[in-house]
Amino acid sequence: MEKVAALCKRRGFIYAGSEIYGGVANTYDYGPMGAELLRNIRNLWWNNFVHGRDDVVGLDASLISSHKIWDASGHTAGFSDAMVDCKNCKGRYRADHVIEDHFAKKGTEQNVEGLTPEEFKKIMVDEKIKCAKCGKIDWTDVRKFNLLFPVHLGIVEGDQSLAYLRGETAQGIFVNFKNVVDSTRVKLPFGIAQLGKSFRNEITLGNSIFRTIEFEQGEIEYFFDPDKTNWEEIFNGFKDSMWDFAVNKLGVNADNLRWRVHSDDERSFYSKRTEDLEYNYPFGGFKELWGLAYRTDYDLNQHIKHSGKDLSILDTQTNKKVVPHVIEPAVGINRLMLMTLCDAYTEEGERSFLKLKPSLAPYRAAVFPLLANKPELVEKAREIYKTLQKDFRVAWDDRGNIGKRYASQDEIGTPYCITIDFDTLEKDQKVTIRFRDSAAQERIAIDQIKDYLIQNT
């Protein structure tokens, strides 16, 4: 993980947030390469789960919403982590992370989902768990810590001005359910998807962008009538789609993925079934990547109860009003990116590179003049670069020697490097294309470069 993190900083994928002022814990900025990779993954998710389906429509709800939404959803009362402080060094940690890391060092797994603060504290005392920062055993009591970020709007004090940065994108879908039904031609079963930022006041132990206070979510709420539609078919259909997206669209090694079913203790009381698609990260082993839950009709009924609005939908065939049930696949786009980077990182001898799928890479190709001090080579290379730029994201690189350029593009994950040399001008009107993964080279005619890049995506 240290090598991946170093590459991400060195090549402009991920920077620490507010770094020149000492940083802000659990915040990160995305550099030029990270912004491109994140955008590619984001667009791929949307194209696959929204544009690629006839039964899903999109939504983009506000980042700030009434506190009444979060009261109704249960977040203001129950959306919390168990927090513990070290009295000696003043470090603050999530109790479940402290315990899980302790057992991981012993070579065992310990599932602590659903435990009470008292149960967390008992394990820490019985196991004599030390603070990871200072090595002392001097803990406070374990207590609940709410994850929502409150926002006060305008000049009015009290509840009238209280709002929250959204803790998840799902609630924006539920409160707009009736708007979508009334303004479109959707009929059950159908899904509403949202892709955007959420905010949680997380207490974490680092691990790069795995868990941050600001992150992007891709969520779908898939609505259906349980009397007419078999929920297990929908559930298993999403399982197949999620697995296919990770393995075939993102190019992740299937051996690093697994499904884990939530136990009765950790599953939300309103959920009939919850499973996580987990990835084997370089830190801590298998961890949650993508959640899939059958949330029944809990969310819409909560908003019906608290808002007094009718959020049912009329079944035109039976003339019966239905409060739909919901199946929800929810993923952190940032976690998809971190997984993709970890899985793509490859070392062969002294060479390190990102084995990204060509369609995901920040650049599809890089264009080089063999020598930067030869105007005729630079001019021809620029001409090819500008032509390819109309169809692809392409890098220009004329710094240093050709070997250093290859090494730089390898670490960025650029799949193809195109070099213009003297033979291009004087002999064959061909360029040398080098493939990142094998470092193999071949000569391709200039007028065939575009087709070559399309066919080898």
**Domain with 204 in it: what CATH number?**
3.30.930.10
Q: Same domain, yes or no, for 321 and 422?
A: no
Q: Same domain, yes or no, for 61 and 124?
A: no
User: What pLDDT is stored for residue 157 in this prediction?
Assistant: 63
User: What pLDDT is stored for residue 156 in this prediction?
Assistant: 64
Among the candidates 129, 146, 163, a domain finishes at: 146
248-252: long-range contacts at Cβ-Cβ below 8 A with a sequence spacing of 24 or more? 249/44, 249/48, 249/357, 250/41, 250/44, 250/336, 250/339, 250/340, 250/343, 250/357, 250/360, 251/340, 251/343, 251/344, 251/355, 251/356, 251/357, 251/360, 252/279, 252/339, 252/340, 252/343
Phi and psi at 335, nearest 5°, equal -70, -35
Q: Same domain, yes or no, for 37 and 182?
A: yes
Structure tokens at 252: 């992740």
Q: Does a structural domain hold residue 356? A: no
Q: Same domain, yes or no, for 183 and 245?
A: yes
Q: Same domain, yes or no, for 368 and 433?
A: yes
Q: Does a structural domain hold residue 349? A: no
Q: Does a structural domain hold residue 444? A: yes
**220, 328 Cβ separation under 8 angstroms:** yes
Q: Same domain, yes or no, for 447 and 368?
A: yes
Q: Same domain, yes or no, for 222 and 183?
A: yes
User: What pLDDT is stored for residue 106 in this prediction?
Assistant: 85
**What gap in Å lies between CA 35 and CA 133, rounded to an integer?**
32
Distance, CA of 320 to chain centre: 39
**277, 262 Cβ separation under 8 angstroms:** no
The pLDDT tens digits of the residues spanning 217-233 come to 999 999 999 999 999 99
**446, 431 Cβ separation under 8 angstroms:** yes
Q: Does a structural domain hold residue 160? A: yes
Q: Which 8-state DSSP code applies to residue 70?
A: H
Q: Same domain, yes or no, for 181 and 319?
A: yes
Q: Which residue range forms the structural domain that includes residue 159?
A: 2-72+149-343
Q: Same domain, yes or no, for 137 and 168?
A: no
Total-model pTM = 0.89
Low-confidence ranges of the chain (pLDDT < 70): 155-160, 204-206
Q: Does a structural domain hold residue 348? A: no
User: What pLDDT is stored for residue 158 in this prediction?
Assistant: 61
**What gap in Å lies between CA 178 and CA 95, rounded to an integer?**
40
Among the candidates 146, 161, 189, a domain finishes at: 146
Q: Same domain, yes or no, for 290 and 177?
A: yes
User: What pLDDT is stored for residue 330 in this prediction?
Assistant: 97
Tokens 């979510």 -> residue: 217
The count of domains in the chain is: 3
Q: Same domain, yes or no, for 285 and 422?
A: no
Identify the three-state secondary structure at position 374. coil
Q: Same domain, yes or no, for 437 and 339?
A: no
